[in-house]
Structure 1
Amino acid sequence: MNEPRVHRDPAFALLELYDAALPEVYGYLLARCGDRVVAEELTSETFLGAVRTCRKAGAGPVSVPWLIGVARHKLADHWRRRAREERGLRLVHDEQPETVDPWDAELDVLRAREVLASLGAHHQAALSLRYLDGLPVPEVAEHLGRTVHATEALLVRARAAFRRAYEEGEQ
């Protein structure tokens, strides 16, 4: 008579990593969105999504960098949802791209975070993925579900909006 075999749930590997990973994931998200409630919600979504992924056949090993990658996707999803909601509430006036000097200005970090938080979700997403996470434009485009050319234009507009808002705050 064959005895039933009990297989260990692959999500237990995530449970073993949870205590060490939680502050890393939460800190990553809070630094990028600046809102504790949103960071908490996205952290929760990150771990729930990670559990679902761990349970799929052929799932790779679980690590903190892998969880940060999941968090990055959850944050991009959040910004996309927020951008859709903003578009639904108001007519978006799309500016003409302007020639912008390189992104090399020295910025006050706290002021820069305030300005970034004041921008629209699509601008926040593009600037955060490109400059905070250091992703190349093609990867930013992939995260945002846009073409590379559309992402480059979005980055030009986002930098211009950031610069305007930053300079208005200095006066």
Structure 2
Amino acid sequence: MRAVPGAGHEAGYPDWEAVYSDNVGWVYRTLFARVGNRTDAEDLTAEVFLAALRPLRLTVSVAEVRAYLRATARTVLAAHWRQTLGREITSIEDIEQPADSEEAISTAPQRVARVLDALPDRYRLILESRFLRGNSIKESAAELGISVPNAKVLQHRALRLAAQVNDGGKQ
């Protein structure tokens, strides 16, 4: 971590360069795991940092910066899926490496299916509505017949459990 040295997670970052260098790796890896190709992952990573640049304050803690970047990455990824919905998710076009290279083969669709199958129905439904169909939180709440605040809590819990399932149950 490149936050203020010796200040722990409570202190913020000294500048935007530190925010970027400390977080670009995990943001890129997260997006690459979901989209399956380097070009889209790089473009989406740039979009995340550009979207976060204006509203994000350097005075907040490192944990808050990371939480904001995670939320921004989800939003950017949802917009990407919304634009590409209708194309087969498993197809990976215009890859410069040979198709059999490890980096070129995406297991994201299989991992998503495995994670969603492991979730309780309500959690699976909220995540499918929000991230696979690109619905707003309000639309998802109406679809599930629940209030918007309840949908937000449900989504938060679903994402937390999905992350645990994806990590193999590690906490």
TM-score for the superposition, normalised by structure 2: 0.46
Structure that is richer in helix per residue? 1
Normalising by structure 1, we get a TM-score of 0.46
